[in-house]
């Protein structure tokens, strides 16, 4: 009789452990989905900033049509991507490169870099990039922990029985980063008279400070 109770006790413990492991998988998966939703929110915020940024640059470099068209095209493609994290990252890559081309154009116009609207948009974009990278790291850390459990014994048994598969990582470079961000010069002298788009400010420019927002570097 004692042996029967022992066996029943072992079965109950195994069942409880299985239920706890299953519930933990559910919690981890929900956390990953919530983390992905945060990434999507920040990506949408970035998409919303770009049209105003492009219009501001156009006021100084209207002839850079190819750059503006590439930004618009890749932005639309990235905003329309609704697949897996890897598919979203693949769509984000060309968009990020187009944004860097846009900022490279801005580098040629000192007065644009001193434009208050451009500075405000750049600051907001840099802050958004920080939030995207923070959300990306949080998401990837949770994916790593979840995927590790799926491969571990005995949780791998529960994962197989419960239909829990591995989740994908999300890797995307920031549009603004320390090495490639536009250099903003708050000390650029403003020439007298009406401001002409594309005109060069007189005199040498002082060494500008690091870009506002402090965009993070790409973490593989």
pLDDT in tens, 154-199: 899 999 999 999 999 998 887 765 433 333 333 333 333 334 444 4
Q: pLDDT grade, residue 28 (50/70/90)? A: very high
Q: What is the pLDDT of residue 219?
A: 36
**170 within a domain of the structure (yes/no):** no
The helix/strand/coil state of 11 is helix
DSSP 125: H
**113 within a domain of the structure (yes/no):** yes
**109 within a domain of the structure (yes/no):** yes
Which residues have CB under 8 Å from 71's CB, separation 6+?
A: 50, 54, 95, 98, 99, 101, 102
- CA dist 187 and 112 (Å) reads 13
Q: What is the pTM of this model?
A: 0.73
Helices (H), 59-172: 65-80, 85-106, 110-113, 116-151, 155-162
Q: What is the pLDDT of residue 197?
A: 40
Which tokens sit at 38?
């945060």
Nearest alpha-carbon partner for 46 in 82, 88, 95, 83 = 95
Domain of residue 145, residue span: 14-162
**47 within a domain of the structure (yes/no):** yes
65: CATH: 1.20.1440.20
**95 within a domain of the structure (yes/no):** yes
Residue 218: is its pLDDT beyond 90? Answer: no
**5 within a domain of the structure (yes/no):** no
Write phi, then psi, for 3 (nearest 5 degrees). -60, -35
Nearest alpha-carbon partner for 127 in 176, 87, 183 = 176
Mean pLDDT of 57-62: 89
Which residues have CB under 8 Å from 198's CB, separation 6+?
A: 60, 61, 109, 111
Q: What is the pLDDT of residue 184?
A: 35
Structural contact between residues 50 and 77, judged by C-beta atoms closer than 8 angstroms:
no
The helix/strand/coil state of 167 is coil
Structural contact between residues 176 and 215, judged by C-beta atoms closer than 8 angstroms:
yes
pLDDT single digits (tens) 84-142: 999 999 999 999 999 999 999 998 899 998 899 999 998 999 999 999 999 999 999 99
Q: pLDDT grade, residue 2 (50/70/90)? A: confident
Percent pLDDT > 70 in the chain is 80
Count of the separate structural domains present in the chain: 1
**169 within a domain of the structure (yes/no):** no
21-30, 33-42, 130-139, 189-198: least confident range: 189-198
5-9, 19-23, 44-48: least confident range: 5-9
Q: pLDDT grade, residue 3 (50/70/90)? A: confident
């Amino acid at each position: 009789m004692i042996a029967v109770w022992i066996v029943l006790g072992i079965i109950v413990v195994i069942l409880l452990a299985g239920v706890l492991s299953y519930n933990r998988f559910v919690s981890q998966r929900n956390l990953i989905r919530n983390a992905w939703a945060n990434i999507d929110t920040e990506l949408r915020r970035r998409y919303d900033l770009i049209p105003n940024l492009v219009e501001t640059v156009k006021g100084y470099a209207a002839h850079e049509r190819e750059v503006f068209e590439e930004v618009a095209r890749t932005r639309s493609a990235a905003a329309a991507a609704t697949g897996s994290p890897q598919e979203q990252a693949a769509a984000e890559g060309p968009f990020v490169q187009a944004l860097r081309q846009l900022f490279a154009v801005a580098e040629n116009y000192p007065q644009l870099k001193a434009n208050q609207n451009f500075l405000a948009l750049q600051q907001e974009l840099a802050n958004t990039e920080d939030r995207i990278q923070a959300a990306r790291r949080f998401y990837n850390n949770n994916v790593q922990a979840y995927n590790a459990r799926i491969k571990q014994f005995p949780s791998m048994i529960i994962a197989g029985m419960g239909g829990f598969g591995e989740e994908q990582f999300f890797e995307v470079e920031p549009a603004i980063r320390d090495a490639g961000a536009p250099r903003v010069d708050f000390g650029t002298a403003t020439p007298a008279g009406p401001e002409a788009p594309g005109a060069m400010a007189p005199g040498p420019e002082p060494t500008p400070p690091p870009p506002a927002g402090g965009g993070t570097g790409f973490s593989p």
